Structure 1
Amino acid sequence: MKKLFTLLALLVITVAGAQETSKPDYTAIQKNIKDKTSPYYYNTLMERFTKADTTMTLTERRHLYYGFAFMPLKMNEMTIRNIEQQLKAALNRPNPTSADMEDVVTYAGQLLQAFPFSITLKEYRAYCLKQLGRYDEAMAEKAQTEMIADAILSSGDGTTLQSAIHVIDAGNEYEITSLMGFETLDTEYLINNKYDYITLNKNAYNLPGLYFDASVTPKSVSRETAGL
């Protein structure tokens, strides 16, 4: 089934230049998401995100995405790896049936409990939900993906070290690069032990690569889901 997803059209998202960008204030975000009286209290933001509440402001989306780096993980590594293996098996079944697509929806959904901002997982679910005729749920996945992209792309345009795009998961780097319409050359460099530089294929902007800052992430579990 995995081959099906390589044929999917990428989401169209308006990027760099459409809005001013600024680095996340991680200190303020960490403080605000723990304050139950704050409009940025994390449980409230996550509840709205789960409902695909598109009225969330950009500031709320930034607190939601970057605040996750300071939240406790909900799943242990062994459980995550087991679910990943089940998802891989479901994705690689030839001539997928409705039951196979239901499996993808289920396993991807379980992994999203640990990694709620995985664009890859959300695309898997959106595609299968649409094929299963569950259009409202598919639209919710798309809306959530756009909210994730909004937050990430508000942090920088990636053209210089100073304007690096901030992510809390290195897996988001390639996902966002694709959403921006670029093809990568699968070459990545670590700069100053802090920045990731991803090289790009020839493009209309003559942009050789993009800089990412993934220095603030949940440290206890590394994710491989984007490589499924």
Structure 2
Amino acid sequence: MKKIFTLLAILLFLGANAQETVKPDYALIEKNIKDKNSPLYYNKLVERYNAADVSLTVEERRHLYYGFAVIDKPIDEVALKETENKLREALHKPSPTLADLDDVVRYTGTLLEAYPFSITMMQYRIYCLKALNRHDEAAKVREQSDIVIDAMLSSGDGNTPENCIHVIDVKNEYELVGILGFEPQGEEYMVSNKYNYVVINKNSYDLPGLFFDTTTAKTVTGLSNAVTGL
């Protein structure tokens, strides 16, 4: 978490050029992740992500995250909705047992198989794994969440529409806002029919809000937000 806050400070005060943030080129990403002879081949990236390989470079993390928008991913939405409902029930139990915590781990695992970049699902999973004294597994999920966060923050600092943060799912916007230590005010505006502007509460950075782009991913790839968290 310390690394994330440090990165935020750098992004805000040194600017995007210093960080060499780059918006995703989906056409190039699609070409690279389909090349079986490339280290950016998607199956290879997924294997390393599943192993929480922290040696993944920023470019590899970007291809993993943004590449998800351009791969074929059949989803049984009915089955996933049932799992979401079961997870919701487990999360709202007033006095959860160890068995309930284990259920949360199992349900979040199923949902993350469908959409592996839901920070919310990872946070539920980390909390329950720690409560079950499965700390090594919790640390692995934390490393995976850092990989996703690094990919998103590599696309922009969010200060302007031109240097917005690109995400492939709208819920990643609010997850990232919270992870960066901000609290959404509850207002969101569409700017230029393309950018989402999320207003945040008063903060020590005097930052009124952050700009995001989910439109490009949806337009270019037809990404469906089937499973993104509760």
Indicate which of 219, 223, 227 corresponds to 2:222.
219
**Do the aligned residues in 2 keep the contact of 1:84 with 1:225 (CA within 8 Å)?**
no
Alignment: residue pair count: 217
Alpha-carbon RMSD: 1.4
Q: Where is the helix percentage greater, Structure 1 or Structure 2?
A: 2
Q: Which residue does 2:71 correspond to in 1?
A: 71
The aligned amino acid for 2:201 is: N
List 4+ stretches of structure 1 deviating above 4 A. none
TM-score (norm 2): 0.90
2:179 aligned with 1:179: yes
Structure 2 gap ranges (5+):
12-18
Partner SS state of residue 15, structure 1: helix
Q: Which residue does 2:7 correspond to in 1?
A: 15
Structure 1 gap ranges (5+):
1-10
Partner SS state of residue 182, structure 1: coil
Q: Which residue does 2:142 correspond to in 1?
A: 142
Q: How does 1:50-69 map to 2 (within 5 A)?
A: 50-69=50-69
The aligned amino acid for 2:30 is: Q
Distance 1:90 1:196, change over 3 A: same
2-structure distance, mates of 1:197, 1:80? 30
The aligned amino acid for 2:41 is: Y
1:76: Cα distance to partner? 2.0
2:27 aligned with 1:27: yes
1-structure distance, mates of 2:199, 2:210? 7
Partner SS state of residue 85, structure 1: helix
Partner SS state of residue 188, structure 2: strand
Partner SS state of residue 196, structure 2: strand
**Do the aligned residues in 2 keep the contact of 1:29 with 1:67 (CA within 8 Å)?**
yes
**Do the aligned residues in 2 keep the contact of 1:196 with 1:212 (CA within 8 Å)?**
yes
Q: How does 1:38-117 map to 2 (within 5 A)?
A: 38-117=38-117
1-structure distance, mates of 2:47, 2:149? 18
2-structure distance, mates of 1:224, 1:25? 24
**Do the aligned residues in 2 keep the contact of 1:171 with 1:224 (CA within 8 Å)?**
no
TM-score (norm 1): 0.91
1:72: Cα distance to partner? 1.6
1:220: Cα distance to partner? 5.7
